[in-house]
Amino acid sequence: MARLVRAFGSSHSAMQMAPLDGWLAMFDHIDRKSPVYDFAGDPHPFDDIVTRRPADAASRIAPDVIARRYRESEAAMDRMAAEIAAAKLDALIVVGDDQKEIFKDASRPAIAVYYGETIRNAKAPDNIAPDNWYLRAQARRMEDGADKYYPCDTALGLHLIEGLNARGFDLTAVQGLTDAQYEGHAYSFVHKRYLNDKPLPLVPIFLNTYYPPNQPTPKRCWELGQAIGDLVASFPGEARIGILASGGLSHFLLNEVLDARIIAALKARDDAYLTSIPPKLLQSGSSEIRNWICTLAAVPKLDLRWLEYVPAYRSQALTGVGLCFAVWA
């Protein structure tokens, strides 16, 4: 039977596709566009968060500190790409979230599994201003010249859909995309930064981490991961399968205390903590922690080989991303 031989976790922020100049320019103009959720999970205007920042805020966004964090992130991503290549996988399940790239407000499943033969990544926009480093970073997760179709593992995707359905998961099966749809950044980031356009078949799994009212609970994400692990073990053949959590940890108000608790739980495989995190703490970008919960639950027999954490602050309000990278083998 098939084996789930590796698990990975990786943040997928636009910061990770931006050059150092983008990090140093900072993201105040981006992060002030939406409410910022504080450490209690309550939304506030960006400027209110600035007035509440700690006394050591300036030291966290000093240029030399930002430059060091940038280098640490680049090194971690290089290692992640090498780890995925060294695993010699036949397919990679990617547990991510869709942010209105495929599913819109009119209809958004809590859990969906893709089982088409290919998935499309869109062509990058033309004529982005040279000084708009943020849009240029976003475009690096897209394609030059024309749309591109990446392979997917239809048989494995269908096996997961049928098995999850039999286990009582009410999910959406996605066989293809319309002309207006394309894979979201949780998946295009994996293609462009870690696979370097190599044709490793994916099975995209979509968790609605972001948008009320139907976000899966942390407990349900754990149960989903357990079921995925069992189903991979029952998939016919000798395939080497990997699973990757795309997104997280805390953002956009970077919460190092929460991230430390999550990392400790990942290391200890503390399902009691991970399944009892109050959903109110998993808002906005921090909601993607759900993808890590699901992925860890899928690999009970794998050990944590490596984990790197980079607290990447990016604004006067100390917004940013708790960048995290991990490998289980």
pLDDT confidence band for 8 (50 / 70 / 90): very high
pLDDT at 1: 87
Pairing between β-strand 240-246 and β-strand 202-207 as defined by DSSP bridges? unpaired
Provide the phi-psi class of 247: left if phi over 0, else alpha when psi is between -120 and 50, else beta.
Answer: left
pLDDT in tens, 189-231: 999 999 987 889 999 999 999 999 999 999 999 999 999 999 9
Fold of 3-328: Protocatechuate 4,5-dioxygenase; Chain B (3.40.830)
Kindly report the backbone phi and psi dihedral angles of residue 30, in degrees, each rounded to the nearest multiple of 5, phi listed first.
Answer: -80, -50
Q: What is the DSSP letter of 72?
A: H
Q: Among 29-33, 226-230, 232-236, 281-285, where is mean pLDDT lowest? A: 29-33
Judged by DSSP in three states, 105 sits in: coil
Rounded Cα distance, 193 and 208, in Å: 23
Pairing between β-strand 111-114 and β-strand 118-121 as defined by DSSP bridges? unpaired
Instruction: Indicate if the pLDDT at residue 130 is higher than 90.
Output: no
Judged by DSSP in three states, 201 sits in: coil
Rounded Cα distance, 203 and 95, in Å: 9
Is this model's pTM higher than 0.95 or not? Answer: yes
pLDDT confidence band for 133 (50 / 70 / 90): confident
pLDDT in tens, 78-109: 999 999 999 999 999 999 999 999 999 999 99
